[in-house]
Structure 1
Amino acid sequence: MDSILALMNDPAAWVALATLMVMEVVLGIDNLIFISILTNKLPEHQRERARKIGIGLALIMRLGLLATVAWIVQLTQPVVTILGNELSWKDIILIVGGLFLVWKATKEIHHHVDPTDHEDTMVGTATSTFGGVIAQILVLDLVFSIDSIITAVGMTPHIEIMVVAVVTAVTVMLLAANPLANFIEKNPTIVMLALSFLLLIGTTLIAEGFGVYVPKGYVYAAMAFSATVEALNMWARNARLRKQNRK
């Protein structure tokens, strides 16, 4: 209790909390895009429950990892050398998760643009099983959770601050999940843009796994620019539709 009161009276702790909360929310965007697209594949009455379960699992996984911070730190120690690159368990998890994202996004883009191929799609018709969707969400939750916690450990040594930041980020994800998923479903062009974001995120994870650090600011700036261009396209399209309807 005394340590918590000391942190509350420490301006540096408040700055660290605010910074970490922003970082955790931004990192949660990747996780949320994947969950939103994937759950839209389910029958409508199952989608909201799947999103809540997926985000709940993300919270449980992050808090569980925070309880084993000493073990998490050890994940950054090299365990194997591949092609001259020393890889830790964190690197291996990021590479596997990145490959999974690239494979999944590429597969779904193919299905989305090929009208003759609609088997096992992430978007479009609701053909996925509930358990299959949750299993895929769980895989990516693990990847994003480890990345999130290692980022938190690098920014502050205080577990209390990490817990508050993680709970805040997951709460924001929970509140944004349904509006984001509904928006993606109602705008087919957004689906393709979101899948391209997953490709970008997956490639970034692979690069970081091999020791090539890509500043997150560049990645999110590119995503924000693409989203802005698409927003302008949607605005222009809606303006044309309104003009046609007035004729």
Structure 2
Amino acid sequence: PIHKGGSKLKPEQYRPVSLTFHAMNIFERVIKRNIIKHLIGQNLTNPGQHGFVPRRSTQTQLLQHYCDICESLSEGSRIVTIFLDFAKSFDKVNHNILLENVAKHKIKCKIGIWLREFLHNRKYKVVANGEMSEVQDVLSWVPQGAVLAAVLFIIMISDIDEKVKSSIVKLFADDTRISLKIRSDEDKILLQEDIDIIYNWTNKYLMEFNENKFEQMSHGEIKNIGIEPYKTPSGKDIKIGKTVKNLGVLHVVIFYSENTYIP
């Protein structure tokens, strides 16, 4: 495992990485290339997904976000963005649910069968400080370090915004944000409803959010419409920030009001 920082005594501060055979990596690249070609050709990628998709990147995601902000400001409205954080996203992927999504993306026949064999009956052991653990069964994950991990994850998460009604959802792999222009108190209700829809998606797919890392940011001001915190899955207030770091870039509130409510 790779240490992410913080206490070295806490298991959650380590990132598991799978070590796979070089020959297998080459074969995975062939499979990945064909899957990506299929997804692009059949228009099956989520338009809001900018991670591990050709001609999309952190830059395209950030540029779209800035365009949304500028458009909102030019209209004289406020745009609120909620930055969500998955807890151990790659480790939480349920194999059966993932394979159902693979089939929904019309990946069947030989590749579909191969992916099922690739995921099922996997085992792992951990090597740390020269010591080796006992062999354990892998019940859910896409193996980090494997070539196919990223493309399998974006297939898993592809319909996260399928039932979202009013808001814009943008992703970079598991980095997720949801935004909506706020022109009235009714819009505030609509945004919370869409956030709740995404929470329900995680429950359905057996995924989990780390709500302690949620952050909320607003750009623009509207008279008589206050800025209040939205709610996490457990009903806690989402932290309102003047600055938020997203995709390695520090976002700063534009037109921040000193009357903004900070919990």
Output the TM-score relative to the length of structure 1.
Answer: 0.25
Larger relative contact order (C-alpha < 8 A, sep ≥ 6)? 1
In terms of fraction of residues, the more strand-rich structure is: 2
Output the TM-score relative to the length of structure 2.
Answer: 0.24
In terms of fraction of residues, the more helix-rich structure is: 1
